[in-house]
Amino acid sequence: MIDAAERKEPMDEGVSLGGLETTVGFVLRLAQVAVFKDLLSALKPFDLRVTDLSVLLVIEATPGLQQRAIGDVLRIQRPNLVTIIDQLEARGLVRRGPVPADRRAYALSLTVEGEALLQQAKRAHAQHDRKVLDALGDLDKERMLAALERIAAL
Amino acid sequence: MIDAAERKEPMDEGVSLGGLETTVGFVLRLAQVAVFKDLLSALKPFDLRVTDLSVLLVIEATPGLQQRAIGDVLRIQRPNLVTIIDQLEARGLVRRGPVPADRRAYALSLTVEGEALLQQAKRAHAQHDRKVLDALGDLDKERMLAALERIAAL
DNA sequence: CGCATTTTGTTATGAGTACTAATTATTTCA
DNA sequence: TGAAATAATTAGTACTCATAACAAAATGCG
């Protein structure tokens, strides 16, 4: 396959984006897609998607959490979280334990296998995150995060 | 529906995200989702999706462009662009004209209706963009764009 | 020129993600 | 106790994104 950068005739570099290229929203999307693609490939060896990693991280941080709580903080709809947990449970990474006070809910926790895999995945994630931070250049992380959080609260 | 912020018992604010909240990638995603949601609702009156607007903007900037070129700059796969143009053409907003030198391709241009609708949509878009820029706070747009572009080039 | 290769747009199709409505079991509360 | 709310689930849907294969036309090289 021939990359656009080395094609002969059309020379797409000259095509105007109609002002889109100086728009925060548009570039924000390009950046987000790139970050997710990079992280996804970094997690490939562990057969984890980005969402899987985030779920595992939250469970690790607070074992005993219920599905609803995880969905809330990660902005995952409850029905969607069900299948995610289903898969992680089927792989023996996560356990659906009983909640003493509530027989409807499950107390989620990592199995030893889940904990072990997560440790590996965390190293890959840290490596990925380093790349992202390097790309920030002179812009310090704190100001970037603050700005992004304000945008997220639109 | 009850918002999480005003629910009584669980108090999700205390749930740890396991370090995710200080990750550029995660917050980047939240920001991007928020921006798209805001822009989508701003474009609702014109029955345009975000992608539709970007396509119209590119065509306006360079009339006579072929589908392939638009897909390249906007990162839209050719098959997907076909249906997008189909819809815009069916609504009378875009015209598929002949390319003198190439009978396979179409020279895309805006109709008068398309031009008129785009002008309105651009005002809505400008209003939305103003909100995003305000959210940047002390961070100047140029540095933000530069950082995002470097991330997008990961 | 003539024939293989490439390119444009198209169709069909599948994977992945995300959303809504409705159901069951359980808990909460008036 | 009975009504309403909640946790998880199921089923169905919609939207985005990607790939493969195709016809028509253009390109290019012998």
List, for residues B46-103, the tens digit of each pLDDT value: 999 999 999 999 999 999 999 999 999 999 999 999 999 999 999 999 999 999 999 9
The whole-angstrom separation of Cα B69 and Cα A44 is 32
Domain that holds residue A67: 47-152
Confirm whether A124 is domain-assigned: yes
Nearest one of B28, B88, B93 to A147, comparing CA atoms: B28
Contact A29 B34 (CB under 8 A): no
pLDDT tier, A137 (very low <50, low <70, confident <90, very high otherwise): confident
Nearest one of A114, A65, A115 to A89, comparing CA atoms: A114
pLDDT reading at B144 higher than 60: yes
3-state SS class at A118: helix
Confirm whether A23 is domain-assigned: no
Confirm whether A16 is domain-assigned: no
The residue behind tokens 């820029």 is B133
Nucleotides of D under 7 A from a protein CB: 6-12, 15-21, 24-28
Confirm whether A70 is domain-assigned: yes
3-state SS class at A65: strand
Confirm whether A80 is domain-assigned: yes
Q: Write the CB contacts of B135 (distance below 8 Å, at least 6 apart in sequence).
A: A147, A150, A151, A153, A154
What average pLDDT does the segment B110-137 reach?
96
pLDDT reading at B1 higher than 60: no
Q: Which residues of B touch A147 (CB under 8 A)?
A: 135-137, 139, 144
Contact A25 B72 (CB under 8 A): no
Confirm whether A41 is domain-assigned: no
Confirm whether A9 is domain-assigned: no
Strand partners, B65: B108
Q: How many domains does the structure of chain A reveal?
A: 1
Q: How many CB atoms sit inside 10 A of residue B139's CB?
A: 18
Q: Which residues of A touch B43 (CB under 8 A)?
A: none
Q: How many CB atoms sit inside 10 A of residue B126's CB?
A: 11
Q: Which residues of A touch B57 (CB under 8 A)?
A: 17-20
Confirm whether A65 is domain-assigned: yes
What average pLDDT does the segment A109-115 reach?
97
How many residue contacts between A and B have a Cβ separation below 8 Å?
Answer: 210
pLDDT reading at B12 higher than 60: no
CATH number at residue A58: 1.10.10.10
| Percentage of residues in chain B having pLDDT higher than 90 | 85
